Amino acid sequence: MQRFSRIIPGLVPVAATLALVACAPAAQTLLALTDATATATPGATATPTGQATPTPGVTTSPVPAGDPMVGALAFLPGRDGFGFENYGGDSGAINLTAAEMVRLFGAGVCASGTGEACVLTPAAQSWMDETNQSMSGGHCEGMAVLSLLFHKGLANPTEFGSGQTTYDLPFADNAALQREIAYWFAQQGVSPTQPAERKDLTPVEVMRALLDSFKPGASEAYTLGIYKRGYQAGHAITPWGVSAGPGAVRYLQVYDNNHPGQERRVAVDTAANTWSYVAATNPNEPDSTYEGDATTGTLTLTPLSVRQQQQDCPVCEDLGASETPPASRGRQVFTQGRGKALVADGAGHRVGYVDGQFVNTFPGSRVMTPKGGDLWRQDVPPVFTVPGEGDLTVTLDGRTLTDDEDSSMTVVGPGYEMSVDDIRLDPGQQDRVKFHANGRRLCYTTETAETPFLTMGLQTEAADFAFEVIAGGDSDGHEVEMEIDQVKGQFRVEARGVTGETGFDLEIHRIDEQGDHVFRNTTNTLDKAATLWLDYAAWNGTGPMTIHVDTDEDGTPDQTLTLMDEGD
C-alpha cells in the first residue's frame, strides 16, 4: 500500500516527521567515577583540523606516561569513516523499504507477502513514511552507527561496494548502502534502542564510559549524541579516542560524518564538568557551537549492543471488532511544520508547548527531536511517545508563525494509524485533532476553510483496511469526523458546521493475502453538512461499494446509493 497517494490533483504531499529517542539506563559498563564540580564554566572548544580529506593519523597533545584518562580505538576517519558527507532529503537517496521494516520488526509488519514482496500494514506503512521523512534533515545516526559496526567487524563494507575500506564506498547509485544507513538510523525511534540512550550522564561520566569501551576486550561500544540545550538540533557522531589537552581538558576524538576524513574533537573540561564542540568548519558560523554542563544531559551515549537485537514493533497488532489496542504499548505522535504542538489527554495531562513554552505534566511520556545532522535547524518539531490509555487531543498553534505553513498530525499505535495532512496553518491559527484511544476514530477541528487529507488504517486478522479522505466545505471553521465501525463493517465520514457545499473524495484499500485492492471515488459533493457510511467490509476488492447518506443531520440515512469505483 502506498500511503498518501493524494487523490485530488494539485495538492502538495505533506508527510509528518521525526523518529524517537528517550532516556533510560543502558548497559552497565561505566568506570568508577571521581567527584567533579559541576560549574557553568565553558570548556575549551573543538579545533577543526582542515578540509574534508583523509588523514592517516591524529595529532594530539603530549600524553603523560600512564595517564588513565586517555585511550583510543584503532579508528581513522580517513579509513573507517565514510568518504561522503552526511546527506538529507534532497540527495535522492533510497531510505527504508518494506524489506528493512521486516528486518527491524519481523514479518508482523506485513499485511501480505514478506521480504521485498511485503505489503505493509497501514500502521507499518505510516510509521515507515514518518521515519523516512525524518531523514530529510540528515542521516547522521545511521552513518555513525554503521561506521562503528564496520570498524568492529560486525558488518562488512565489501558487501556494499568494491572498496576495501568504509571510506572507499561510493554513495551514488548505491541503493544497498543507502538503505543500510536508513536501517540503522531508524532504530533511534524504537525500543530497545530508543530508551537505551543515556541522557543522564555528566560530560566526565561520558568520557569515562568511552575510555572503558576503548579497552581491549571491552563488551560495549557507543555512538555519541550531541544536542543544543533543550535537545534541539540533534547530531550523532562516532567517538574513537580520548586525548590530552591543556590542563584538565580532555578531547573526545570523533568521526563527524558532516566532515569526511577529518579528525574532530569534543572538548571536555574535567574540572568544570563541561563540554563544547564547534560543529562547523568555520567557527564563526552562527549557532555552530554545541555545549553543556553536568546538568544539561546534552552529551549522550547509545550502546551498540541494543542495536543488534530485533527491535520491538510499535504498530504490530491484529485488532478484533470488540478489541481495544493494548494500553501498555503506548502511542507515538508526530507533527510537521513550525507550528507548536501540544498533546493532552482528558485528565488534563499535557506535553508540548503552551504559549511558546515547553511543558510536560504527562506521566510516562517521552519527548525527542531526531539526530539527523542539520545543525542549524532548531525548529524541528518533537515526537511524543505517550501511554496508550485515554483519548488524545493534539493542537497545532500558529501564533508564533509569520507566514502560513504546511502542517500535519499523525498518531500511530498497535494495529492502527490516524492522521490529518495538508493543513495550511496560518499565523494566529489553532487547529486541533482528537484521536480516540480505540484507534478507530478522529475528529479534526479547524478555524478556516481547510480541505485536509485524513487517513485511518486498521490491522485485522482477516484483512487490513486503510481509508483516505479529502473532506471540507465552504465555511470558515468546521469539523470533520471519521470512524471505523468494525462490528457493522462500516466507515463513517461526517462534516459539521459547513454552510456551503461539502466535498468528499475517497480512497479505500483492502489488503489481504491476494494483495492491495484499491477503491477510488472523487465525485461526491453534497449541500451543507452531511454524513456518509460506507459498507467497506462487504466490499471484496472489486466492483462498486454501497454508501448511505444522511443529508439533514438527524443521524438516519436518507439515501442508499451504489458508489462506483473510478479506478486510476
- The whole-angstrom separation of Cα 395 and Cα 397 is 6
pLDDT at 87: 93
Is the separation of the CB atoms in 453 and 420 below 8 Å?
A: yes
**pLDDT of the residue at 7:** 42
Dig out the grid coordinates for 149 from the structure. 559496526
CB burial of 394-412 (b: ≥16 within 10 Å; e: otherwise) equals bbbbbeebeeebbbbbbbb
Nearest of 556, 509, 562, 565 to residue 531 by alpha carbon = 556
Is the Cα dihedral 230, 330, 303, 158 positive or negative?
A: negative
pTM of the model: 0.84
Q: What is the pLDDT along the chain (568 residues), one digit of tens a residue?
A: 555 444 433 333 323 332 332 222 333 333 333 333 333 333 333 333 333 333 333 333 344 445 677 899 999 999 999 999 999 888 899 999 999 999 999 999 999 888 888 999 999 999 999 899 889 889 999 999 999 999 999 999 999 998 789 999 999 999 999 999 999 999 998 999 988 999 999 999 999 999 999 999 999 999 999 998 878 888 999 999 999 999 999 999 999 999 999 999 999 999 999 999 998 766 566 667 899 999 999 999 999 999 999 999 999 999 998 888 998 899 999 988 888 899 999 999 999 999 888 899 999 998 877 788 666 555 678 889 999 999 999 998 888 888 888 888 999 999 999 999 888 888 888 888 999 999 999 998 877 766 788 999 999 999 999 999 887 665 666 788 999 999 999 999 887 766 667 777 899 999 998 889 999 998 677 666 678 899 999 998 999 999 998 877 777 888 898 989 987 5
- Could you tell me the CA-to-CA distances from 409 to 52, 216, 336, 394, 477 in Å, in that order? 39, 47, 7, 8, 18
CA atoms within 13 A on the CB side of 262: 20
User: 333 - beta bridge partners?
Assistant: 384, 411
pLDDT for the residue numbered 64: 47
What tens digit of pLDDT does each residue of 108-166 get?
Answer: 999 988 888 899 999 999 999 989 988 988 999 999 999 999 999 999 999 999 878 99
- Model pLDDT, residue 403: 86
**Which grid cell is 471?**
473532506
**pLDDT of the residue at 29:** 33
> pLDDT tens digits for 31-83?
333 333 333 333 333 333 333 333 333 333 344 445 677 899 999 999 999 99
Cα separation, 446 vs 481, whole angstroms: 12
Q: Which three cell numbers stand for residue 493?
A: 465520514
Tell me, what's the pLDDT at 423? Answer: 84
Q: Give every CB contact of residue 440 below 8 A, 6+ residues apart in sequence.
A: 416, 456, 458, 483, 484, 485, 486
Cα dihedral 359, 362, 363, 365 sign: negative
Q: Give the strands of the sheet with 545-550, arranged side by side.
A: 357-360, 350-354, 340-345, 392-397, 430-435, 441-446, 478-485, 490-496, 530-534, 545-550, 559-563
Q: Where are the beta strands (DSSP E) in 319-440?
A: 331-336, 340-345, 350-354, 357-360, 366-368, 383-386, 392-397, 405-413, 416-425, 430-435
Measure the CA–CA gap between 49 and 260, rounded to whole angstroms.
11
Is residue 214 classed as helix, strand or coil in its secondary structure?
A: helix
Give the C-alpha separation, 101 to 119, whole Å.
11
Give CA–CA dist 115/100, Å, rounded.
8
The confidence score (pLDDT) of residue 496 equals 77
